[in-house]
Structures are given as C-alpha cells and as structure tokens.
Amino acid sequence: MMSNNQKNNSSQNRNKNNNQRETLKKVFKYIGKYKFYLYASLVLAVITVVLTLYVPKLTGEAVDYMIGKGKVDFKGVYKIITTILVSISITGVAQWLMNLCNNKMTYHVVRDIRNDAFKKIETLPFKYIDSHPYGEIESRVIADADQFADGLLMGFTQLFTGVITILGTLCFMLSVNPIITLVVVAITPLSFFVAGFISKRTFSMFKKQSEIRGVQTGIINEMIEGQKVVKAFNRKDIVIADFDEVNEELQKVSLRATFFSSLTNPSTRFINSLVYTSVGIAGAFAAISGRLTVGSLSSFLSYANQYTKPFNEISGVVTELQNAIACAARVFELIEEDSEIPDKADAVEPEKFEGHVELNDIDFSYVPEQRLIENFNLKVKPGQNVAIVGPTGCGKTTLINLLMRFYDVTAGHISIDGIKIKDMTRHSLRNGYGMVLQETWLKSGTIRENITMGNPDISEEEMIKIAKICHIDTFIKRLPDGYDSYVSENGEDFSQGQRQLLCIARVMMSKPSMLILDEATSSIDTRTELKIQEAFDKLMEGRTSFIVAHRLSTIRNADIILVMKDGHIIEKGNHKALMEAKGFYYNLYQSQFMGRSI
C-alpha cells in the first residue's frame, strides 16, 4: 500500500511532467512558423556530424599506410590528408550555417513570444495589473524570455548534433567491429539513467528560482520608484533587510539547482571513461589476435571518444533546457491569462456623445466579500458638471473606473445617450472622455508627442494656443529644443506640477465629448490653479463633466455635487443648497475653510 506522502509525491511528479509536456507543445507551436530553419539546421547537423566522423576513419586508414620503417605509402597518405582538409572545410561552413539557422529560429521564436506577452499585457483586465507587482510582470517578459532564449539556442545547437553524433558514431563503429560496438552500447544506458535522474529534480528548482527572481525584480522596481519615500521615512535598513531575505532565498534555491545540475557532467564523464577504457581493452585484445588493425583500433578509440562526448553536452543541454522550459512556462502563464471581456460582435461605435449619462442600480466590489458600491443610481443631463466629494475610500475613483469601464459593474448598468456602455466598443467609450488623473503619466518621447497624443493632427497654432492657456508654453520655450525637447521616462525632468499641466494640456487638445477630472489640479500652486480653473470652465462648456475633488473651493460652481460615503450618495445638490442643508457636505466644507471638525 502506498502512503499518503508517496501518493502526493507521485501526483506532483505527474503534474510536473504534464506541465513540461504542455510547455514543450506550446514552444513547438511557435517553432512551427520557422520550419525552414529547423529542417535546414537538421540537414546541416547531419552533414557536420557525418564529415566529422568520417575524419577518424580516414585517420585510421592513414595509420595503416604507415605500417613500418621504410614501408610508408606516401601517395595514399597525401590523398587521405587532402580528403581530410576538404572534409574539415565543408564541416566548418556547414557548422556556421547551422548556427546561423539556430540563431534565426531561436530569436524569431523569442521575439514572437515577447510580442504575444506584451500584447497580452495591453489586453489584461485592470484587476490583474492591480494585483500583481509590475516588476514581476516585467521579469516574465524580459528576464524569463532571455533565459528561455539561451536554453533554446543551446538545445538546438548541441542537442541536434549530439543525438546525430551518437547515432552516426554507432554506424561507423559497427562498420569497423560489431562486437566491440556491443560493449559500448551495453554501458550506454547508464548515461541516460544519470541524466534522467538529475533532470527530473532540477526542473522544479529552476522554476522556483525563476519565480523568486520575479519577486526580487518586483522589489527592486518598487524601491527604485519609491526611493525618495524610502529615504524620507528612514526605511533603508528595513528595505535592505527585506531584499536580503528574498536574495538569501534566491541564493539557496539557485545553489540547489546549480548543485544538482552540476552533478550531471562529472557523472556522465565517469561513465564515458568506462566506455573508453572498455573499448581500449577489448580493442587491444582484438588487435593482438589479428582481428583488428592498428589503424582500425585508432579509429575505434576516436569514435569511442566522439560517442561519449555528446552525452556530456546533452546532459548540460538537458539542465539548460529544464531552466528554459521553467522560464517559458512562466511566460506562457502570462500569455494565457484571461483577457478583459471582449467587445460584443455587434458593439456600436459612437463618434460623438451628447453626454446623457445614467447609472442604474449599480453594485460593485473589488473583492466579492467586501462590498463597496451598492444600489447606486445617478442621472446626468448633457452639459452638466457633476462634482464627486467624500472621505477617502468612499468610492469616488471607483466610480470613475466604472464610467471608463476599466472595471465592469457586478450588477446594474451604465448607459450614455441611452446606449449601455457594454453595448459599445471600449475604444469609442474611452475616446468620448478626456481624463486627467491625480497620478501623472508621460511617455518617453518629445513634449509635442505627449501633449498631442489624443489629437495628433492638431495644428501648430492651435497647439501653442492651448499650451498658453495651460501655462506650459513659457517653460517649454525655455527648453533647448522647445516642443521637440525629449521627455525622459515618466517626465522625471519636470516638477510634479509641470507634469500635471502637460497632462491637462493633452486632454484639452484631444477635444473630448465628456470630461473626467480626478484631482486634476492637486499638484498645482493656488495662483496657477485659478487660471487653469478658468481654462477648465471654458473647456467644460456644453460638455458633461465629472470632477473628483478634495479641495471644495474648486467645485463650488458645479451643477450637481454628489456627496459619497461608503459607496452610497448621502447628499446631492448644488453648493448653495448643500450649505443651507447643513449636513455632511456643510461640515466637510467648514472643516476645510473654518478649521472646524466634521
């Protein structure tokens, strides 16, 4: 009877083998696009191996032409030397072409996998992006793909030639002496047993190593982005301790994986030495008895060495392939993640919106057991300015996420101009909104590319006009290349306020049907904010606008102010009506301007 532990181990081993097989199937599916390079590599590998193995046979014949003093057939020796030189030259060219095919195939496959992984990131739901460290996702696309490329390249380069060398050597040895060949074949299974035993144990270790490396990349990424905060709060020692802990774990797993994988080479070398010794002893007796010439024995020893050499290479390749497959499995996990729910086949694509927005009996929660928004209802007429206020965590930004369909509601529906947003394409929905967030984002490129992202065809005159309204024209003109100045990653060369002004200009230039302003002026000084507010007022004329604000002074002119708490609207009205009601909004306003508690 098997114990529970034995059953569990057996089940885990089956799962690992199944995972490996599934991963290899996926890899071969990508390789299938480049069959030409695969077949060409195989043919060239055969040519390389056959000619390489033909040289020892020629060398043995040359030895037999030199049987004693004064009994050397120089004519025959010169002919053999010429043949050897031609064979080596052809082998060199074939090997170069084979490596070229392998490189082309490998890096085309890795390019395709990376492309698919990046495309998948672009279609992943925000739920996945929000719940996974960015560094861990980056690690899969970059580090794991690189490791996979290295293993795949070594696999094709050495595995093909290794297997063909073993088969070819056996054929040549059989042609020289079948009995001694049987001695070699009898010892061969030991090499397979050793390589198989070790490879089974290295796959899980390399997979674990890849996972921990992803965690480590995530920590590094997070700490570099938040370096100022780490130093400001004196968290350096704690951060280093956290990193050391993960680094220590990576070191232990890497050491175990390397230790087991490094056993392969010395183990197979020992078996190879047994093969060589057995051939030497059996061949010596055959030569003494006259059944084998000295030249044939010389060839046989060369073949024995050629035969055992691929086992060392293949054992190393197996280890690298284990690592490569483990890394490939992680990349495929990302590629196979569920994309966001696709648009309906008959989804409509409105070019413009009047701005009549309705939210009917909306329910939503990020985590099923923790409700956030329940039975939420709202009707907004075209051109109305809707301000959303309330304490942190009440659902303000969540509401914006639902309007933009970054997340889908769990119950109820949202409609614009009488069309449910689930019945229209995401592109047309998001194209209808202009959005400025509290968190700024600028891509690597010129200032011009960044601010005209939503409307690349805008004229130079109009671009500059809007830039002046947004108070960015002055500081842009002070830059060496003006509007063609390069913006580094996320605009680190600019202040937070300047970055936010650039984002505001980007929205104004896109001329959207509706607006969403989520703390859009939070990083701007009060004087500039008043001027930007004037620009926003002009921009919002005739456009339905949703404004999330903590500074209540910025939303006094809003048509409707929604006061939210715990996912519900607790008050609704304009500024004057809400102040007269002396409810939650009144207390909130007083706490900001009069220093009174809520």
Owning domain of residue 245: 8-335
Query: Over 60: is that where the pLDDT of 148 sits?
Result: yes
Per the CB < 8 A criterion, the answer to whether 164 and 45 are in contact is yes
261-267 LR contacts (CB < 8 Å, sep 24+)? 261/198, 261/202, 261/319, 261/322, 263/198, 264/194, 264/195, 264/198, 264/199, 264/315, 264/316, 264/318, 264/319, 265/312, 265/315, 265/316, 267/194, 267/198, 267/315
Instruction: Please list the residues that pair with 415 across neighbouring strands.
Output: 358, 420
Domain boundary among 291, 315, 335: 335
Give Cβ neighbours of residue 117 (< 8 Å, ≥ 6 apart).
140, 141, 145, 331, 334, 335
Average pLDDT over residues 265-291: 75
Average pLDDT over residues 144-155: 78
Same domain flag for 383 and 261: no
Supply the DSSP string of 476-529, one letter for each residue: HHTSTTGGGPEE-GGGTTS-HHHHHHHHHHHHHHH--SEEEEESTTTTS-HHHH
Average pLDDT over residues 298-319: 71
Which DSSP symbol is given to 553? G
Same domain flag for 230 and 379: no
Residue 543 domain-assigned (yes or no)? no
Query: Over 90: is that where the pLDDT of 296 sits?
Result: no
CA distance 441 to 487: 11
Residue 472 domain-assigned (yes or no)? no
Same domain flag for 356 and 324: no
Same domain flag for 72 and 169: yes
Residue 304 domain-assigned (yes or no)? yes
Instruction: Please list the residues that pair with 573 across neighbouring strands.
Output: 561
Of 456 and 267, the structure prediction assigns the larger pLDDT to 456
Q: In which residue are the tokens 């073949």 written?
A: 303
**Rounded-to-10 torsion of CA 133, 134, 140, 142:** -150
Secondary structure class of 338 (helix, strand, coil)? coil
Average pLDDT over residues 251-273: 77
Same domain flag for 288 and 370: no
Q: What is the pLDDT of residues 320-335, one digit of tens each?
A: 777 788 888 888 888 8
Residue 596 domain-assigned (yes or no)? yes
Same domain flag for 94 and 192: yes
Give Cβ neighbours of residue 16 (< 8 Å, ≥ 6 apart).
200, 203, 204
Go through the chain and tell me how many residues it has: 598
Which range of 21-35, 55-69, 286-300, 402-416 scores highest in mean pLDDT? It is: 402-416
Domain boundary among 272, 303, 335: 335
Query: pLDDT category, 93, cuts 50, 70, 90?
Result: very high
Same domain flag for 22 and 121: yes
- Percent share of the chain, pLDDT over 70: 87
Per the CB < 8 A criterion, the answer to whether 151 and 321 are in contact is yes
Same domain flag for 365 and 330: no
CA distance 429 to 563: 26
Same domain flag for 361 and 299: no
Number of domains in the chain: 2
**Rounded-to-10 torsion of CA 66, 71, 77, 79:** -150
pTM: 0.64
Q: List the CATH number of the domain containing 397.
A: 3.40.50.300
Q: What is the identity of the amino acid at 471? A: H
Q: List the CATH number of the domain containing 328.
A: 1.20.1560.10
Of 13 and 351, the structure prediction assigns the larger pLDDT to 351
Domain boundary among 312, 335, 358: 335
Residue 527 domain-assigned (yes or no)? no
Which DSSP symbol is given to 339? P
Mean pLDDT taken over the chain: 79
Same domain flag for 379 and 327: no
Which helix (H) or strand (E) segment holds residue 88: the answer is: helix 74-123
* Residue 559 confidence (pLDDT): 86
What is each CA distance from 525 to 71, 495, 529, 532, 546, in whole angstroms?
Answer: 102, 12, 6, 10, 22
Region for residue 524 given its phi and psi (left: phi exceeds 0; alpha: psi -120 to 50; beta: otherwise): beta
Of 532, 547, 397, which Cα lies nearest the Cα of 470? 532
Residue 485 domain-assigned (yes or no)? no
Query: Over 80: is that where the pLDDT of 15 sits?
Result: no
Same domain flag for 133 and 249: yes
Residue 457 domain-assigned (yes or no)? no
Same domain flag for 210 and 324: yes
Residue 471 domain-assigned (yes or no)? no
